[in-house]
């Protein structure tokens, strides 16, 4: 006999209360990661163009977990983000989302981003109501700015003044979405 859906949902809710990170891993990445403030990748499939969704599918295939976003240069050293492996905006957004899932809320993410050389702050009560946003950025002339590889970033490297990232957290301080924007003057 199949387990009724409401019982499965209840079991997932209990798991979320017991260990939020373990429960997040049980929910497919395409259902956890939201390219927009309110819709996951799977929810956007019928709305967005195939090309738009395909870019996120490629990023999730290349970076299925945080370990894929890290450099493997020195196994004994602290893990370092492998910015050069991220060849699309979608990949950067996804890896930042995966990192945010491992941290304890927006303030911890701000601390981590500042350690990476970003300027970052937490904005409270942003749309949708009850959510918080980590706003972080790099000026284009910053010596320690991450260098992204790939054709998608070629124009931005030459002409952008920098980039900013917005990481949205829900009311329970779980990351929901990430948006990368290049700043042009």
% of the chain exceeding 90 in pLDDT = 26
Question: Which residues 6+ apart lie within 8 Å of 97 measured at CB?
Answer: 32, 33, 167, 175, 177, 178
pLDDT at 18 over 60: no
pLDDT at 24 over 60: no
Rounded mean pLDDT of 113-126? 86
Q: 131-139 and 119-126 as β-strands: parallel, antiparallel, unpaired?
A: antiparallel
Confidence of residue 97 (pLDDT cuts 50, 70, 90): very high
In DSSP terms, which residues pair with 70 in a beta bridge? 81
CA angle 144, 91, 21 (to 5 degrees): 100
In this structure, the number of other CB atoms found within 10 A of the CB of residue 154 comes to 11
pLDDT of 164 reads: 86
Tokens of 71: 């450099």
Confidence of residue 106 (pLDDT cuts 50, 70, 90): very high
Q: Measuring CA to CA, which residue among 52, 85, 54, 51 is closest to residue 67? A: 85
Rounded mean pLDDT of 155-184? 80
pLDDT at 22 over 80: no
Find out whether 174 and 152 touch, Cβ atoms under 8 Å. no
Per-residue pLDDT reduced to its tens digit, 30-67: 888 888 767 888 888 887 888 788 888 999 999 999 99
pTM equals 0.77
């Amino acid at each position: 006999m199949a387990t009724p859906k409401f019982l499965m949902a209840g079991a997932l809710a209990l798991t979320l209360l017991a260990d939020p990170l373990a429960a997040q891993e049980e929910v497919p990445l395409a259902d956890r990661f939201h390219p927009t403030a309110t819709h996951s990748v799977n929810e956007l499939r019928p709305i967005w163009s195939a090309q738009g969704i395909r870019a996120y599918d490629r990023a999730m295939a290349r970076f299925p977990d945080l370990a894929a976003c890290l450099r493997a240069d020195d196994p004994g050293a602290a893990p370092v983000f492998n910015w050069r492996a991220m060849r699309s905006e979608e990949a950067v957004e996804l890896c930042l989302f995966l990192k945010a899932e491992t941290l304890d809320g927006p303030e911890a993410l701000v601390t981590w981003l500042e350690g990476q050389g970003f300027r970052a702050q937490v904005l409270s009560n942003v749309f949708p109501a009850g959510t918080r946003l980590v706003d972080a950025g790099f000026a284009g002339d910053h010596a320690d700015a991450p260098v992204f590889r790939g054709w998608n970033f070629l124009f931005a490297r030459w002409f952008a003044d920098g980039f900013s990232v917005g990481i949205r957290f829900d009311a329970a301080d779980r990351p929901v979405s990430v948006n990368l924007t290049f700043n042009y003057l």
